[in-house]
Amino acid sequence: MQTAIATALQQAAATDFLPLQGTDYVEFYVGNAKQAAHFYMSAFGFQALAYAGPETGIRDKVSYVVRQHKLTFVLTTPLRANNPVADHVYRHGDGVKVLALRVENAADAWHQTTSRGGKSYLEPVTLTDTNGEVVLSGIHTYGETVHLFVERKNYKGSFMPGFRPWSNPYFAPADTGLLYVDHCVGNVGWNQMNPWVKFYEDVMGFKNILTFDDHDISTEYSALMSKVMSNGNGYVKFPINEPAEGKKKSQVEEYLEFYNGEGVQHVALATNDIVHTVTELRNRGIEFLQVPKTYYDDLLERVGQIDEDIVPLRELGILVDRDEEGYLLQLFTKPVQDRPTLFFEIIQRKGAKSFGKGNFKALFEAIEREQEQRGNL
Ligand code: FE2
């Protein structure tokens, strides 16, 4: 029997006016890009790739590009006050500004989305250098976050025009097995989930493939609701969360307060060997949410047989969930900056196309213990 997710994906594919080839890059606006780039390289195992700044003719900001397999992160910081990057960092702290999506035709992507009500962020522009050309365009999404459409089929360089190659022969930490962006979650305000679901349906042709209500995602104290939006080929998935009424402040409300508005809550990074990846990340100082050890007592009864040995899963705190198509292993980091805002998920899928519903309660109780320590519950 066909699953609900497969049916929704087929519907999205049948009417797909915005063919996406996947995530091209994620750009973070940060307070200190030089140090942030070092963090993603040393702790997460990214490699240095490209640089733009005063030396390449950019006067008011600096960007470092790092890459690991199909994952590309851009870390951008302002050099002066009173520019859009500085204002963004002032309001939100470090956070995701751009979710860039690879397309065959960036001008067409802009026309398709803006003609359906998308608000333009960047009209189609062609950037050229000796390696060829990249066409960019973009639209706004929730908060101050934007989607850029990136057409790079006629480009042979390492990143894009305006950047120069960047490397450090004395510093090349081994990768940690992180492969690509699995999904990217947005936190939006009260009663704003459905309007943004409609935005992704109407403007970008996405379909709602999964819905979690406040009964699915609640603990004793707090709740949230979530709908997962996917494009037609399933390469790009954007769950949208909104807070729900509970006895205490939900984690989404804490995010909205400290991010000073709507924005990206977490980016899920895929691996083919989560035990190796999480071992490496932990050894390099990345902190993860901890669920109680009792989580593992009846794990195999809940999820059935799995290929992995349970001992390292318990030691590393890796969670497991099963759906009708297979299972997945996942784990959340603590926030990666001082504000309790953006964090990462590490995920390994073994057939499952869902998001770990069976782990929500244990994970959200772990988040609440952290919230409590911050005095924000
Ligand atoms: Fe996730």
Centre of ligand 1 from the C-alpha of residue 149, in Å: 23
Centre of ligand 1 from the C-alpha of residue 155, in Å: 32
Residue-number span of the structural domain to which 266 is assigned: 178-374
Centre of ligand 1 from the C-alpha of residue 267, in Å: 7
Name every residue whose Cβ is closer than 8 Å to that of residue 267 and which is 6 or more positions away in sequence. Answer: 26, 96, 181, 184, 185, 342, 344, 345
Last residue of a domain, one of 117, 142, 165: 165
262 assigned to some structural domain: yes
Name every residue whose Cβ is closer than 8 Å to that of residue 351 and which is 6 or more positions away in sequence. Answer: 325, 326, 327
Query: Rounded to the nearest 10 degrees, what angle do helices 360-373 and 251-259 cross at?
Result: 50
The verdict on 101 and 188 lying in the same domain is: no
Angle made by CA atoms 260, 265, 268, in degrees to the nearest 5: 160
Backbone angles phi, psi at 373, to 5 degrees: -65, -30
Q: How many domains does the chain have?
A: 2
Give the pairing type, strands 71-78 and 20-29.
parallel
pLDDT at 306: 96
Centre of ligand 1 from the C-alpha of residue 290, in Å: 16
| CA-closest candidate to residue 247, choices 341, 372, 335 | 372
Tell me the CATH number at 345.
3.10.180.10
34 assigned to some structural domain: yes
Per-residue exposure over 257-269, b if at least 16 CB sit within 10 Å of its own CB, e if not:
ebbbbbbbbbbbb
Coil, helix or strand at residue 130: coil
Centre of ligand 1 from the C-alpha of residue 355, in Å: 6
Last residue of a domain, one of 141, 165, 189: 165
Tokens of 344: 């990462």
As a whole number of angstroms, the distance between CA 369 and CA 289 comes to: 10
Centre of ligand 1 from the C-alpha of residue 342, in Å: 12
Q: What is the pLDDT along the chain (377 residues), one digit of tens a residue?
A: 578 888 888 888 887 899 999 999 999 999 999 999 999 999 999 999 999 999 999 999 999 999 999 999 999 999 999 999 999 999 999 999 999 999 999 999 999 999 999 999 999 999 999 999 999 999 999 999 999 999 999 999 999 999 999 998 888 899 999 999 999 999 999 999 999 999 999 999 999 999 988 788 778 777 889 999 999 999 999 999 999 888 888 889 999 999 999 999 999 999 999 999 999 999 999 999 988 888 998 899 989 999 999 999 999 999 999 999 999 999 999 999 999 999 999 999 999 999 988 888 888 888 888 988 999 88
pLDDT at 1: 59
Name every residue whose Cβ is closer than 8 Å to that of residue 64 and which is 6 or more positions away in sequence. Answer: 33, 34, 36, 37, 48, 50, 51, 74, 75, 166
Last residue of a domain, one of 165, 200, 224: 165
Centre of ligand 1 from the C-alpha of residue 107, in Å: 31
The verdict on 134 and 218 lying in the same domain is: no
The verdict on 146 and 182 lying in the same domain is: no
With tokens 């608000």, the residue in question is 119
Centre of ligand 1 from the C-alpha of residue 345, in Å: 6
Tokens of 138: 């973009």
The verdict on 114 and 83 lying in the same domain is: yes
The verdict on 211 and 92 lying in the same domain is: no
pLDDT at 101: 98
Coil, helix or strand at residue 101: strand
Q: Which residues surround ligand 1, an ion (CB under 5 A)?
A: 268, 345
Centre of ligand 1 from the C-alpha of residue 242, in Å: 14
Centre of ligand 1 from the C-alpha of residue 183, in Å: 7
Centre of ligand 1 from the C-alpha of residue 284, in Å: 22
Tokens of 167: 């490397």
Write the Ramachandran bin of 261: left for phi over 0, alpha for psi from -120 to 50, otherwise beta: left
Coil, helix or strand at residue 41: helix
Centre of ligand 1 from the C-alpha of residue 185, in Å: 6
